[in-house]
Structure 1
Amino acid sequence: AVIVIACPCALGLATPTALMVGTGKGAEQGILIKGGEPLEGACKVNAVVFDKTGTLTNGKPVVTDVLSFSETNEDDVIEISASLEKSSEHPLAEAIVNYSEEENYTMSEVEEFKAIPGHGVQGVVNGSVYFMGNRKLIEDIAQLEVGRINRKLERLEEQGKTAMILASKEKILGIVAVADTVKDTSREAIEALKKRKIDVWMITGDNARTAKAIATQVGIANILAEVLPENKAAEVKKLQGSGKKVAMVGDGINDAPALAQADIGIAMGSGTDVAMETGGIVIIRNDLRDVVTAFDLSKETMQKIKQNMFFALFYNIIGIPIAARVFMGIGLVLKPELAGLAMALSSVSVVTNSLLIKYFRPGKRNYVSLVAPIVMTILFTLIFFEFSRLSTNMTKTTSTVGTTISFINKK
């Protein structure tokens, strides 16, 4: 009876059953969880870093302003800018090219095209060298002063627009401003994370003014601006070094190193294949509220694992002494056949408790999941002691029959 009751079957089921049901429930909610590690780790996160473009915003920027300087007109600014940007894969470049096509501008062939990550692009159009990008590109690489257009840049940036400067080797020709709209669910998701005592950060390559304008719209106070793509992972590592358990949420190739560096990488389903392969969790529906749901589901699953461990050990703790007849003096014993049935019931309780994760609903308390473990504990404890009582009666009956047979044989 002791060997049977000590069988750790339920203990072996405690974790995998909960993880299996948890990942299945995540899939139902549009959350792809790649195994048990990210599901277990998500509940420990206390800081979330969001990429801006395509994550907090819709990732579909449009041209809002075109400014020209010197003898250059606005049409020339668009035609040269679109010619340069058509060879780039950046979302901002796509916005300029789309605008050019919609307005029927002519794009020229580009020679010696070069994309400079975190800065912009350069190339030769119709025999002349042009630069298109941010302040750093114009000042550090084109080596032109942007002081005289600073006020125009600041005005655009304070409106949350990304201002890109077009310049030749001799002078600044114009500005093309592009803006992206914030997702409808971004602010709601950020507020939900704050309620759960999770610090929220935004990381972007945009300048501080543009970043602040977008962050204000979604309710984020912690901003990491002007971060080059290759430095995003380093910023995540800094947060980890301060004792934070960090989740990184991103969608682009540039986010992949940061997704890999973070304790939990969360990729948006609308993002690049590289990002989705790197992330341990993928948000299929592109809804940031599902990030919050993933954390809540993780907590629910881990709670079930702990409860399952309790169920598995609880029966062993009370069953082994009874099976070993430690309490025989007060009439508690457990026969091997009933000990086997009791251990089967402990496995049933573990599996049943794991299945309660199916009642999980985002943003709602799972009252069934809260009450059911208490009811099961009481019910199975009563059944366990009933088995013990039956074993005691069976032992007494067997003893009486044995005594009677022995008496008859002597006669």
Structure 2
Amino acid sequence: MHGGQHKQHHGHGPDDDHMVHSHGQHAGHSTAMFKDRFWLTLALSVPVVFFSPMFAHLLGYMPPEFPGSAWIPPALGTVIFFYGGMPFLKGGLSELKTRKPGMMLLIAMAISVAFIASWATTLRIGDFDLDFWWELALLVAIMLLGHWIEMRALGSAQGALDALAALLPDEAERVTPNGTETVPVTDLAPGDVVLVRSGARMPADGTIVEGQAEFDESMITGESKTVARGPGDPVVAGTVATDNTVRVRVTAVGEDTALAGIQRLVAEAQASSSKAQALADRAAAFLFYFATIAGVVTFIAWILLGSLPEAVTRTVTVLVIACPHALGLAIPLVIAISTEQAARVGVLIKNRMALERMRTVDVVLFDKTGTLTKGEPELKDITAVDGTTPRELLAVAAAVESDSEHPVARAIVRAAHHQGLDLPTATGFSSMTGRGVRAMIDGRTVQVGGPALLRELDLTETDAMAATTRQWAGRGAAVLHVVDGDRILGAVSLEDAIRPESRQAVKALQARGIKVALITGDARQVADAVGAELGIDEVFAEVLPADKDKKVAQLQARGLKVAMVGDGVNDSPALARAEVGIAIGAGTDVAMESAGVILAGNDPRAVLSMVDLSRASYTKMWQNLIWATGYNIIAVPLAAGVLAFAGVVLSPAAGAVLMSASTIVVALNAQLLRRVKLNPSQVR
């Protein structure tokens, strides 16, 4: 598993090229490289800035003079240009070769112009006062800082996954006929049984065969509460058995585990491009042409006015100022932070377009079973004949069912345990196919079964009981009768349990102006009962799996934008057809190609996180784009000297300071996304 997962550990992997082509194909430029170059460049920049006559004049101090002091800025400035500037010079060249001018070419042009102009001034070639060493130094330092921040942010959702990979233990205790042996995790194969001690991590996906424990699954689901797991329950690699030792039969190892699947999804998310990213690329190309044309026009205009030094000074200033690093930071930073924020609450964004589209959704269509409901029966009601209490009835039913593996039997036994009932001893258990089960209690035959059992025994309910059970059946509940000999003791109803979080999710979506619809293959009365209980706007019942995508198409035909939330098994076509496909409860089956978003947990409230994050990140993208490009469109003409006649000229120094400020504003603005509250349990 470790083999293929670290390919994107440092910065971008090969698949990320499209995403960063405005940054000159960072392939090979790792986060650590930008960080190291930034710190060294910053250290070298301090003396360059301090000994710069232009900067000293700005702040009104005299730099100390001693033999060779005048050569400190050019000497260190040259080191900065070649060492710190190299990633940009290489990136600029590759953008020139591919004829896709963008951010790297702009930066390369700005620092090269500053470098040449500064040397010309230092060597007194021509009558120029273009001592740009300090500006070159700060420009390179700020650009390196920007790229470092950006790549760190881009790497952090990926980093969260690398952290997941690191969560896997290196060794496992494999159970052998003679006890246990410690083996590398890579030696495990499906079918092996491993011993997982209290406090240890699961080395692979598997099913518990012995013992029960509370598992911390927060690294997969984002949910902080531990989950009880016992024999027959699936457990996932990387989760922790918090209190007991269990034996687990391995079902998946390495690349087949849920963890590896989640990592692949986020790697895809990082590589998938978005419309807004293309927008930033186009803006960078536009600014390159804008800066180049502005530079040429500035040069010609000032030459015509008869001032060569002024022409060079203004042109250089224009080209240095036009370097819009703020733009390079604007979109990737927002996308990176939003992907990372989502991953923290168990929302894995596989396709960035899904995140962007989520803000435009008009209706969220939930698949009922396993999404709004738990997908497993739960005891709902009990009715007993006179002389028997509901607790006694439940105890007898649970005793008879206790040897059955049927989900309905398990639900009855679970309900009895929850109520703390002492169960009588049942012997001679047998299952009667299609009718129910029977066992002996205190020498009497007790049977539990549905309507077929009553017909076979030729028994009829009392009128009161019949009225109650009819009402249950009308709601879509399964009704089981408990029969002692030839006497009906009472009946219990079982229904697919609604998740407690579903109610909050529906209300909160409606509060955000989004309609909620329900789709299910269940009978109309079952669907309507759930719809009524949750206050859902529209219910589609008795829909065959193959027809789910037709319902999505019908909603779209009404002009609605649809987000479909399903468990991904038979919902694939519908998930693919919807504007946003969201697969829920995918902690153990994450290979859902059709969904753009995967909710690692089973909490439908996570859909709200998507809506809020989508709206917030879109706003931030536009704010950043407007800020980044707006600053340039105003600063460049000022630097060119458009208002020189009125005495308003943007000095090279002021231009550099402004440019740095715009970069910092964009970076800080993107960081504000971290304040968007996404924890599903804090839903308003």
TM-score w.r.t. length of structure 2? 0.39
Task: Please state whether the residue corresponding to 1:278 is helix, strand or coil.
Answer: coil
Runs of 5+ consecutive residues of structure 2 not aligned to the other structure: 1-316, 382-400, 415-425, 435-466, 481-491
Amino acid corresponding to residue 42 of structure 1 in structure 2: M
Aligned to 1:213: 529
Q: CA offset at residue 338 of structure 1?
A: 4.0
**Partners in 2 of 1:233 and 1:177 — Cα distance?**
33
Using the TM superposition, name which of 151-160 and 279-288 deviates more: 151-160
Using the TM superposition, name which of 296-305 and 254-263 deviates more: 254-263
- Kept in 1, the 8 Å contact 2:552–2:577? The answer is yes
Amino acid corresponding to residue 195 of structure 1 in structure 2: A
Q: CA offset at residue 2 of structure 1?
A: 1.8
Aligned to 1:39: 355
- Kept in 2, the 8 Å contact 1:21–1:357? The answer is yes
**Partners in 1 of 2:430 and 2:593 — Cα distance?**
38
Which structure 2 residues correspond to residues 8-407 of structure 1 after superposition, within 5 A?
Answer: 8-62=324-378, 95-96=407-408, 98=410, 106=430, 155-161=471-477, 178-270=494-586, 273=589, 276-362=592-678
**Partners in 2 of 1:105 and 1:216 — Cα distance?**
39
Q: CA offset at residue 323 of structure 1?
A: 0.8
Residues 192 and 100 of structure 1: CA distance in aligned 2, closer, same or farther (over 3 Å): closer
Task: Please state whether the residue corresponding to 1:287 is helix, strand or coil.
Answer: coil
Amino acid corresponding to residue 233 of structure 1 in structure 2: D
Query: 1:272-296: per-residue Cα shift (whole Å, max 9, x none)?
Result: 6267443222222322222112101
Aligned to 1:7: 323
Q: Which has the higher contact order (CA 8 A, sep 6+)?
A: 1
**Partners in 2 of 1:163 and 1:212 — Cα distance?**
18
- Kept in 2, the 8 Å contact 1:162–1:206? The answer is no
Residues 18 and 294 of structure 1: CA distance in aligned 2, closer, same or farther (over 3 Å): same
Q: CA offset at residue 62 of structure 1?
A: 4.3
Task: Please state whether the residue corresponding to 2:375 is helix, strand or coil.
Answer: coil
**Partners in 2 of 1:99 and 1:294 — Cα distance?**
33
Q: CA offset at residue 263 of structure 1?
A: 0.8
- Kept in 2, the 8 Å contact 1:190–1:219? The answer is yes
- Kept in 2, the 8 Å contact 1:63–1:179? The answer is yes
- Kept in 1, the 8 Å contact 2:586–2:598? The answer is no
Amino acid corresponding to residue 291 of structure 1 in structure 2: V
**Partners in 1 of 2:378 and 2:635 — Cα distance?**
69
TM-score w.r.t. length of structure 1? 0.62
Task: Please state whether the residue corresponding to 1:273 is helix, strand or coil.
Answer: coil
- Kept in 1, the 8 Å contact 2:376–2:407? The answer is yes
Residues 62 and 178 of structure 1: CA distance in aligned 2, closer, same or farther (over 3 Å): same
Q: CA offset at residue 202 of structure 1?
A: 0.2
Q: CA offset at residue 333 of structure 1?
A: 1.3
Q: CA offset at residue 322 of structure 1?
A: 0.4
Q: CA offset at residue 101 of structure 1?
A: 10
**Partners in 2 of 1:106 and 1:351 — Cα distance?**
69
**Partners in 2 of 1:184 and 1:64 — Cα distance?**
14
Aligned to 1:368: none
Query: 1:346-368: per-residue Cα shift (whole Å, max 9, x none)?
Result: 2222111111111111499xxxx
**Partners in 2 of 1:178 and 1:306 — Cα distance?**
51
Q: CA offset at residue 319 of structure 1?
A: 0.3
Runs of 5+ consecutive residues of structure 1 not aligned to the other structure: 66-81, 87-93, 111-150, 165-175, 365-411
Using the TM superposition, name which of 100-109 and 218-227 deviates more: 100-109
- Kept in 2, the 8 Å contact 1:154–1:209? The answer is no
Query: 1:43-65: per-residue Cα shift (whole Å, max 9, x none)?
Result: 11111001111111112224779
Q: CA offset at residue 158 of structure 1?
A: 2.9
- Kept in 2, the 8 Å contact 1:158–1:213? The answer is no
Task: Please state whether the residue corresponding to 1:231 is helix, strand or coil.
Answer: helix
Residues 33 and 202 of structure 1: CA distance in aligned 2, closer, same or farther (over 3 Å): same
Fraction of identical pairs, as percent: 41
Task: Please state whether the residue corresponding to 1:59 is helix, strand or coil.
Answer: strand
Amino acid corresponding to residue 595 of structure 2 in structure 1: G
**Partners in 2 of 1:306 and 1:189 — Cα distance?**
28
- Kept in 2, the 8 Å contact 1:47–1:201? The answer is yes
| Count, aligned residues | 293
